[in-house]
Amino acid sequence: MKRMHLVFGILLILFLISVLLYTFQPLGDQFYIICDLTVIIFSFLSFVFGLYAYEFYGFSSIKGKALLFLTLGVFFWFLGETTWGVYEIVLGIEAPVASVADMFWLIGYPLFLAGFYYVWKIASTSISKKRLLILSVLIIAICSFMTYISTPILTDTEMSSAEKISTAGYVIGDTLILVALMVAVTYLLGGKFAKGWSIILLSIFLMSVADIYYMNFLEVYKAGNLIDLFWDLSYILLAFGFFYHREVVKDVFDEVKKK
């Protein structure tokens, strides 16, 4: 428990530092350098903690497979964040659209979906008709909402074909992520390990919310926008979620061994 409090405290301090940086924005017009570097660091931390959580199970376990694919998804998003930083800091290309960074981010989506598939298998039990009905309504609502907000963007005649393809990839990816999240949460509710997965699922939900915001304000977005704090928070929560998951599950196994 002390280790969990220590890790939580360190990650909380890192996020508060990030908030202070966004509040005072040192370096002025070059604040984007700090923005890019912080999200690279936080995404890398998420990847490292993901490996830490996966190491407890190994690939032979369904839980291990779930954590591995989620961690690989984070790794490609880390590559996306790093590549974006290279574009802006090294090459001087501000807010690159339809770039190599987008390729890495888009590769991350199927890996996350594979992770959610194994999360679903962990808790794959029959659910009540009422819960299934609620799930169906939520899925329809998510698909309708994503269609509604993305149609004006994808039909914009001023957007290039490359930008449309990239944006469409994010629309499809975020829609599938949100649907997979709803399915996973529905089946996990009330389960033994629901608590261990809760922070991980919440962090990925926040990432999707940030992506949807970015998609709708693509033309005016630049590094330093407050939405960047959402990504910072998401990665920090994900890092803690991985650590929390391992510690909670380890405690459960330790209690079983004692009996």
CATH architecture of 2-258: Up-down Bundle (1.20)
**Domain range annotation of the chain:** 2-258
User: For residues 190, 195, 196 and 201, what is the CA-based torsion angle, rounded to 10 degrees?
Assistant: 90
Chain mean pLDDT for the chain: 87
Quick one: pLDDT at residue 101?
92
Q: What is the CB neighbour count within 10 angstroms for residue 107?
A: 18
Quick one: pLDDT at residue 209?
87
What's the rounded Cα separation, in Å, for the pair 7 and 243?
8
Digit-coded pLDDT (tens) for 176-229: 999 999 998 888 876 666 777 889 999 999 999 888 888 777 666 776 777 889
What's the rounded Cα separation, in Å, for the pair 102 and 105?
5
Please tell me the least confidently modeled range out of 61-65, 100-104, 148-152, 206-210.
Answer: 148-152
Regarding pTM above 0.85, the answer is: yes
Digit-coded pLDDT (tens) for 105-147: 999 999 999 999 998 888 767 778 888 899 999 999 999 999 9
Q: Where are the beta strands (DSSP E) in 115-205?
A: none
| Residue 259, pLDDT above cutoff 70 | no
Comparing CA positions, the residue from 220, 218, 237 lying closest to residue 229 is: 237
Confidence of residue 256 (pLDDT cuts 50, 70, 90): very low
* Residue 176 to residues 56, 61, 65, 122, 139, Cα–Cα distance (Å): 28, 24, 19, 19, 10
Quick one: pLDDT at residue 71?
97
What's the rounded Cα separation, in Å, for the pair 50 and 74?
8
* Residue 253 to residues 29, 49, 164, 196, 257, Cα–Cα distance (Å): 51, 20, 48, 13, 6
Mean pLDDT of 40-59: 94
